[in-house]
Structure 1
Amino acid sequence: MDPVAFLAITTATLVAFVTFRYAVACWIHPFGTCRKCHGKRHLPNRIGRGTHECRRCQGTGLRLRWGRYAYNFARRLCTDGTR
């Protein structure tokens, strides 16, 4: 086997493995922590001492992962197209 073919097969296998692993992670844990509030649910006010709820996650501390968002979009597109 020549080195170029071996490198291509190895790269394709690695990409497939990483994609499969991310898909399983999105299936098991569809939510990740919010990147703005870091899962704390509240942000400090700019003026004063109080806090307010994070607008990105609506105070839950969780955000839908990109992979799960894409899966939900594809599933909705498929069900709407086959009605």
Structure 2
Amino acid sequence: MSIHPATAISTAATHGSDLAATAQTAGQVATVALIVTIAVSLYLLGCLIWPFGKCRRCKGVGKFKSPFGRAYRHCGKCDGSGLRVRLGRHVINHIRAVHGAGDNSTSKGKR
């Protein structure tokens, strides 16, 4: 008969540690979410300041040499500029377009 009280205490102690583990896990999830949010915000800020990156096909040169090295041709991907629009800038441009489309609605509401 002494087995039941020991089991009850053991179960209560285990339940309490599960609650502490859950609280610790929730804190870790919140910390990771905060770090990811800060990283994405800094990336988007960088895309606002520097919207272009080097073209991946021509590595930012904008042209290719011929096999014999005498002639050049423009990169077809970047049209010879050597630049490409970064992914974050595409996201920013899309958000601006959606926001602008909301301002141009045909409803006659007050502004």
TM-score normalized with structure 2 length: 0.66
Identity among equivalent positions (%) equals 32
User: Structure 1 stretch 69-78 or stretch 11-20: which is displaced more?
Assistant: 69-78
Q: What is the number of residues matched between the two proteins?
A: 82
Superposition RMSD in Å: 1.6
Task: Specify which structure has the bigger relative contact order, considering alpha-carbon pairs within 8 angstroms and separated by 6 or more residues.
Answer: 1
More helix by share: 2
Q: How far has the Cα of 1:67 moved from its partner?
A: 0.8
Q: TM-score, normalised by structure 1?
A: 0.85
Rg: which structure is higher? Answer: 2
Superposed, 1:11-30 pairs within 5 Å as 11-30=32-51
The separation in 2 between residues aligned to 1:68 and 1:15, in whole angstroms, is 18
Q: How is 1:2-81 mapped onto 2 (pairs within 5 angstroms)?
A: 2-45=23-66, 48-49=68-69, 50-81=71-102
**Where in structure 2 are there 5+ consecutive unaligned residues?**
1-19, 105-111
